[in-house]
């Protein structure tokens, strides 16, 4: 495995994102919605860099098996809090094809939220354009499967405090 992002770099970036969000959402009491499991560490660190009143919820979705996207996304565990009229910030670990985030945006739109913003720790740089803005991006990375800082390969490596590219799939 090759390290591509170390913890000092990660911590600084997460702090910067937290500061931007804190400025933008002052007085709006946003709800951060962490997308499990991958974003649990990013969500926890991001929340600690937020200096305004906020709430946090988690939603659990599934779309991947190993390093292959299954293409269909489903909600495994939903949010019970009423989101109507609320500013929500969806917190993702990584956006690759965009299928997961696209699905989540359409689900949250049905709940009459006041605004939807997206904060993703990683973004795989691919040519395709999304028809929605990605408001906060930690790092853009090249293609390749990455693990660590919450991201897994078959549930392994979430505990690593840096991000690595998986070279061998064992």
State the binding partner of 146 from ligand IMP, Mg ion, none, CB within 5 to 8 A by kind: ligand IMP
Name, in order, each residue with C-beta under 8 angstroms of 168's C-beta and a sequence gap of 6 or more: none
> CB of residue 120 vs ligand IMP: minimum separation in angstroms?
8
Concatenated DSSP letters for 8-74? HHHHHHHHHHHHHHHHHTTTS--EEEEEETTTHHHHHHHHHT--S--EEEEEEEEEEETTEEEEEEE
Query: Is residue 150 at the binding interface for Mg ion, with CB under 5 A as the rule?
Result: no
Query: Is residue 148 at the binding interface for Mg ion, with CB under 5 A as the rule?
Result: no
The stretch near Mg ion (CB under 5 A) out of 31-39, 73-81, 110-118, 122-130 is 31-39
Angle between helices 7-24 and 40-48 (to 10 degrees): 60
Closer by beta carbon to ligand IMP, 99 or else 111? 99
State the binding partner of 148 from Mg ion, ligand IMP, none, CB within 5 to 8 A by kind: none
Catalog residues that contact ligand IMP under the rule CB under 6 A: 35, 38, 63-64, 69, 92-100, 145-147, 151
The answer to whether 96 is a known catalytic residue is: yes
Closer by beta carbon to Mg ion, 50 or else 147? 147
> CB of residue 91 vs Mg ion: minimum separation in angstroms?
13
- The 10 Å CB-count burial string (b at 16+, else e) for 121-146 is bbbbeeeeeeeeebbbbbbebeeebb
The stretch near Mg ion (CB under 5 A) out of 8-16, 35-43, 114-122, 128-136 is 35-43
Q: Using CA atoms, how far apart are residues 10 and 25, in angstroms rounded to an integer?
A: 22
Residues annotated catalytic, as ranges: 96
Using CB under 5 A, list all residues that contact Mg ion. 38
């Amino acid at each position: 495995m090759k390290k591509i992002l170390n913890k000092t770099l990660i911590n600084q970036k997460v702090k910067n994102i937290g500061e931007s969000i804190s400025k933008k959402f002052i007085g709006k009491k946003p709800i951060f919605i962490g997308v499990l499991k991958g974003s649990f560490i990013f969500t926890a660190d991001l929340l600690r860099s937020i200096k305004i009143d906020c709430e946090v919820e988690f939603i659990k979705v599934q779309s991947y098996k190993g390093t292959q996207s299954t293409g269909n996304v489903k909600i495994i565990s939903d949010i019970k809090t009423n989101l109507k009229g609320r500013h929500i910030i969806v917190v993702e670990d990584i956006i690759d094809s965009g299928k997961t985030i696209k699905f989540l945006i359409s689900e949250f739109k049905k709940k009459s939220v006041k605004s939807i913003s997206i904060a993703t720790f990683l973004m795989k740089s691919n040519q395709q354009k999304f028809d929605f803005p990605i408001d906060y991006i930690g790092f853009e990375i090249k293609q390749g499967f990455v693990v660590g800082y919450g991201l897994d390969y078959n549930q392994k490596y979430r505990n690593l405090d840096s991000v690595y590219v998986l070279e061998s799939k064992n």
